[in-house]
Amino acid sequence: MPHLTSHSSPLTCSSTLFIALILIFSQPNRSTAAADANATGRHRQMSFDYYVKSCPQVEQLIGSVTSQQFKEAPVSGPATIRLFFHDCFVEGCDGSILISSKPGSKELAEKDAIDNKDLRAEGFETIAKAKSLVENKCPGVVSCADILAIAARDFVHLSGGPYYQVKKGRWDGRISKAARVPPNIPRANSTVDQLLKLFNSKGLTLADMVVLSGGHTIGFAHCQQFLSRLYNYKGTKQPDPVIDPRLLKALRMSCPQFGGNKDIVVPFDVTTPFLFDHTYYANLEAKLGLLASDQALFLDPRTRPVVQDLSKDKQKFFQAFGAAMEKMGMIGVKRGRKHGERRRDCSFHG
């Protein structure tokens, strides 16, 4: 999903507006596999059955928590998936996003960075619950980083998306600094050039970027993330000329230029907001992208063909998304005590 500054909050805007959005933009569903992760030495030590002897029931334990969370608080899905993206893009997939700032410390942890201030509590709660259950059965064995990767996969599948295998064997990182977040997180108004530079720096390709952005098929964004598109696009004092007029009208109802409710959110995918599918791409073709960084993927001639390809074939998107998530899940993996630890409490670095 990744334009990672996007917010996965529950829909708190009026039900009238939400129903209007669904009615206005309901349309029939329209039917690049990412490259494999580089096989570096540390990656070869990771495997799908890493815990087969030390904690064979780890995925079932985590699955019992994610399924319950999905029933009780559906927002846990996009919240946890977003948490995984934010973890991997800063310091690698090492659970450093889960560490709390030390009381009295002048240096804040990642989770308290301004760019992470709207990360939903449900994501952190899901991981804490899963970690507690796993620790009870397999103390000191499974890393927080692996639990987060598995939980994110579970929520993709529970939301209607693909089920893909997760390689395991990550260790938890010891470094978590808020100052390292801003240069590593995409913005809601990032250009394709900016996005490509960032994703390439993580070892991800243009195709990976477009595929992972499809995570915006579920989740929500606060008005502030796209307000300039509605009223003052690039300083013109006019709305973004690309945005569909019907969507513009609906969004302005929810998000006034001044004095609006900061808690109001709008779904990324205005046609099937609670279903993990490929409609996100069809929306971009129809000028129904919510964030400027989303819509830019269709406007740019380099990324448009990938958008068009994925909008036609849900199974192709699912296959590509699973492969891209596996590749992203290898970013900056920590291995061994020299580089990492296995935290008993995901929020506390000993």
* Token pair 């108004």 in the structure block, residue: 189
Could you count the other beta carbons within 10 Å of the beta carbon of residue 92? Answer: 21
The strand pair at 220-222 and 265-267 is best described as: antiparallel
CA 133, CA 126: separation in Å to the nearest integer? 11
Q: Are 84 and 8 in contact (CB under 8 A)?
A: no
Retrieve residue 136's tokens. 């009870």
Burial class (CB in 10 A: 0-12, 13-18, 19+), 320: buried
Contacting residues for 329 by C-beta, under 8 A, at least 6 apart: 84, 88, 93, 149, 166, 167
* Residue from 3, 7, 43, 86 carrying the catalytic annotation: 86
Q: List 168's β-bridge partners, or say none.
A: 47
Catalytic residue flag (residue 86):
yes
3-state helix, strand, coil in the chain (%, to 5): 50, 5, 45
By three-state DSSP, how is residue 226 classified? coil
Please tell me the total number of residues recorded for the chain in this structure: 350
Taking CA atoms, 99 is separated from 103, 170, 217, 254, in Å, by 12, 16, 28, 35
Nearest residue to 122 (alpha-carbon basis) of 75, 155, 157: 75
Contacting residues for 27 by C-beta, under 8 A, at least 6 apart: 271, 282, 286
Please give the positions annotated as active site: 86
